[in-house]
Amino acid sequence: MRAVRAALELHGTVRRVSEEVEQRIGAPLAMHTGINTGLVVTTPAEDERGGRVGITGDTVNTAARLVSLAQADQVVIGPDTQRRVAGFFDLESLEPVTLKGKAKPLTPWRVKGQSTVQSRFEVAAMAGLTPYTGREAELSALKDCLDKAMAGQGQLVTLSGEAGLGKSRLVHESPWLG
């Protein structure tokens, strides 16, 4: 997710400075980005450009191929990246392509911009939540605390538990907390 946000910010910066740079170099300034998710292999390597780490692997190769699919001012991502960032960004599916070195076609995605979604729970809610059952006691306790607070009695509620236990869902199911 950070890579996609960073790419969008970089593209925004390039758009802002493009006019000034174009006047100096006589050509428009634009960039295009390809992002892919997966394992990479790193090796210590100093090259003529001053790089200190080399990266290789299928993930890097696929990202390089995605860059070639992106037009000026576009961010194109691979399907693994799309699965991780869906909901957080407005995405458009592109036509499947067969990339060099790949046996099967791959469906790239164009990032159109950032969405208003802020949490994975919001993404899950957009897809549809399962029926909420079995937390009536917890909902009742929250409602009692709210009623006491509204009556002027100070209250403190702490929700704690392992990830995935349902803390966000409990709050979501408490309409009087929203």
In the chain, the domains with their CATH numbers are 2-115 (3.30.70.1230), 129-177 (no CATH)
Per-residue confidence at 178, pLDDT binned at 50, 70, 90? low
What is the predicted pLDDT for the residue at 122?
A: 84
For residues 86-110, give the mean pLDDT. 94
Q: Would the pLDDT of 94 be above 90?
A: yes
Average pLDDT, the chain: 90
In our burial notation (b when 16+ CB lie closer than 10 A, e otherwise), range 3-31 reads bbeebbeebeebeeebeeeeeeeeeeeeb
What is the Cα–Cα distance from 147 to 40, expressed in whole angstroms?
54
Kindly report the pTM of this predicted structure.
0.73
Q: For 83, phi and psi rounded to 5 degrees?
A: -60, -30
- What pLDDT score was predicted for residue 49? 65
Least confident span in 7-16, 50-59, 67-76, 153-162: 50-59
Is residue 2's pLDDT more than 70? yes
What are the pLDDT digits (tens) for 99-115?
888 889 999 999 999 99
Element (H or E) spanning 132, and its range?
none
Is 122 or 72 the better-scoring residue by pLDDT? Answer: 72
What does the pLDDT read at residue 164?
Answer: 84
CA-to-CA separations, 156 to 144, 148, 153, 169, 172, in angstroms, rounded = 12, 11, 10, 19, 18
